[in-house]
Amino acid sequence: MRVIIKLDITAGSVQLVDQFEWDITDRNASPERFAEIYAADVGLSGEFTTAIAHDIREQVLMLRKALSTTGHSFDPIEPIDEELRDLFLPVVTSVTRNVEQAEWYMPKIHYL
């Protein structure tokens, strides 16, 4: 069950804005490990690593809680409650993105 995780983090005079897909049913996915690799790839300091992992965990927890309140079993085949459907992404039909979509999924770093 894929969702969009949105980041808008400011540490010191640096702001990170980004979004990416995350599978909330994958219990093996580690926000901490992802944040560590992501921050290193983008060249961000260690305080961003902690903030990124925290943001991921917080958003995943909120979405899991919303699903559980509707009685959802976390089975990807099970239909999602109509009120929550817009929070989840449809089944993947293509592994590539067009240029416009690709720009939505690029980290943006602003120096304030």
pLDDT of residue 10: 98
Spatial CA neighbour of 59 closest among 4, 8, 14 = 4
Per-residue pLDDT of the chain (112 residues; tens, 9 = 90+): 889 999 999 999 999 999 999 999 898 999 999 999 999 999 999 999 999 999 999 999 998 888 788 777 666 656 667 777 777 777 777 778 788 877 888 999 999 9
Query: By the 8 A CB rule, do 59 and 34 touch?
Result: no
What does the pLDDT read at residue 68? 82
Question: pTM for this structure?
Answer: 0.83
Which phi and psi angles does 74 have, rounded to 5°?
Answer: 65, 20
